């Protein structure tokens, strides 16, 4: 008898085919209730970061052997509980590093040079000729970028920062080796000092109990006057309400978000602000990256249901 796999959302036809060659597949489960209904008889689930895989879901799947997350982050899964039940949890690390770093830079440039505002202005037929003060932005060359979380993506952001002539400082729970710091031309800095002195702050920590609300209200108010904040990590790392207050007061240059607290819901106040650029969580959204992620997520399931070890285990 074939093992049964639940794929919560469609991926790529070739990945569906690959899984169908091995398993009985069911595709489509939106929200926790539907996942609970459909996971009961499944041996594996391939899920998205928007799918909550908590105790209740895990308890409703007595045959489950692996939870394969189609993402590098896995804060949507109760990993400890899955582990206590002997269910593997896997993610898709490495593959999306460069795409997410590119998108971070797209946001930095879009905010610093007011690209979205200027595009709307031009489309609205308001461009009547070159003007000295039209859409003045923030020059990057010579400024300081503060990278919060210097893992794979933070480092890829740092590598790109050198090309833009920025001074690089970073904060991380465990400091990098002197060799790595030298290679990246990056200097370790205490988090509060980083916030107080960086012109651009970009968040690259995973969401964990320690990083939940890391950039809290008090820290938001430490951010340098006129700075830019970019978040392509997880919304819950930042106190959005406090950040919005500062943006509304005009005491920050602007902000760029790919992720939100409680997404896909977005604080309506954010939608009203001109000095923010808002994206729908597309950090890893290139065809190459998403296909590679889908293949790895499928291969993790094939490996485990064939009796082997997962390729990229979270545990």
Which residues does the annotation mark as catalytic?
234, 263, 281
By beta-carbon proximity to ligand DGY, the closer residue of 166 and 236 is: 236
Between 50 and 246, whose beta carbon lies closer to ligand DGY?
A: 50
Is residue 6 a contact point for ligand DGY (CB under 6 A)?
Answer: no
CA distances to 69, 205, 215, 276 from 211, in Å: 20, 7, 8, 23
35's CB contacts (< 8 A; 6+ apart) are 6, 8, 29, 45, 47, 51, 52, 53, 57
**Minimum CB distance to ligand DGY smaller for 157 or for 252:** 157
Please choose, out of 57-65, 127-135, 195-203, 276-284, the segment that lies near ligand DGY by the rule CB under 6 A.
Answer: 276-284
Taking the C-alpha atoms of residue 143 and residue 156, their distance in angstroms, rounded to an integer, is 18
Residue 96 binds ligand DGY, judged by CB under 6 A? yes
Work out the number of other CB atoms within 10 angstroms of the CB of residue 44. 30
> With CB under 6 A as the contact rule, which of the stretches 71-79, 138-146, 165-173, 194-202 interacts with ligand DGY?
71-79
Alpha carbon dihedral 76, 265, 149, 168, in 10-degree steps, equals: 160
| Cis peptide bond prior to 264, omega within 30° of 0 | yes
At 270, list the tokens.
């954010």
User: Between 211 and 250, how does the x/- string for binding to ligand DGY read (CB under 6 A)?
Assistant: ----------------------------------------
Least distance (Å) from ligand DGY to the CB of residue 300?
14
Minimum CB distance to ligand DGY smaller for 73 or for 146? 73
Closest approach of ligand DGY to the CB of residue 284, in Å: 4
Pairing outcome for strands 276-278 and 254-257? parallel
Closest approach of Cβ 294 to ligand DGY, in Å? 12
Binding piece for ligand DGY, criterion CB under 6 A, among 24-32, 36-44, 66-74, 140-148: 66-74
Count of residues near ligand DGY by CB under 6 A = 8
CB-wise, 88 or 260, nearer to ligand DGY?
260
- Smaller CB distance to ligand DGY: residue 202 or 284? 284
Spatial contact of 272 and 56, defined as CB atoms under 8 Å apart: no
Instruction: Give the residue, chosen from 283, 298, 303, 304, that forms a contact with ligand DGY under the rule CB under 6 A.
Output: 283
Residue spans of beta strands (DSSP E) within 156-199: 167-171, 186-188
Instruction: Answer for the pair 186, 150: CB distance below 8 angstroms, yes or no.
Output: yes
Q: In 10 A of CB 254, how many CB atoms?
A: 25
Residue 71 as a binder of ligand DGY (CB under 6 A): the answer is: yes
Helix axes 287-305, 13-22, angle to 10 degrees: 10
Residues that bind ligand DGY (CB under 6 A): 49, 71-73, 96, 281, 283-284
């Amino acid at each position: 008898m074939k093992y049964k796999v639940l794929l919560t959302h469609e991926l790529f036809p070739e990945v569906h085919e690959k899984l169908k060659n091995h398993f009985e597949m069911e595709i489509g489960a939106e929200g926790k209730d539907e996942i609970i209904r459909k996971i009961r008889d499944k041996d594996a689930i391939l899920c998205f970061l928007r799918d909550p895989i908590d105790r209740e879901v895990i308890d409703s799947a007595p045959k489950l052997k692996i939870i394969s997350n189609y993402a590098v982050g896995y804060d949507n899964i109760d990993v400890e509980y899955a582990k206590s039940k002997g269910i593997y949890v896997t993610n898709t690390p490495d593959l999306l590093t460069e795409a997410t770093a590119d998108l971070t830079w797209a946001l930095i440039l879009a905010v610093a040079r007011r690209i979205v505002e200027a595009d709307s202005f031009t489309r609205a037929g308001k461009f009547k000729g070159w003007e000295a003060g039209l859409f003045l932005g923030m020059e990057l060359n010579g400024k300081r970028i503060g990278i919060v979380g210097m893992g794979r993506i933070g480092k890829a952001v740092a590598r790109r920062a050198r090309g833009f002539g920025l001074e690089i400082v970073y904060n991380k729970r465990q400091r990098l080796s002197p060799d790595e710091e030298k290679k990246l031309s990056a200097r370790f800095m205490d988090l509060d000092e980083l916030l107080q002195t960086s012109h651009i702050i970009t968040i690259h920590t995973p969401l964990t109990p320690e990083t939940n609300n890391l950039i809290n209200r008090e820290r938001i108010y430490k951010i340098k006057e006129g700075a830019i904040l970019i978040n392509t990590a997880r919304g819950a790392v930042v106190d959005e309400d406090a950040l919005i207050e500062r943006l509304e007061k005009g005491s920050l240059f602007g902000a760029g978000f790919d992720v939100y607290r409680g997404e896909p819901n977005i604080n309506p106040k954010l939608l009203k602000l001109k000095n923010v650029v808002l994206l729908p969580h597309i950090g890893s959204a290139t065809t190459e990256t998403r296909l590679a992620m889908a293949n790895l997520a499928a291969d993790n399931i094939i490996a485990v249901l064939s009796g082997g070890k997962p390729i990229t285990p979270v545990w």
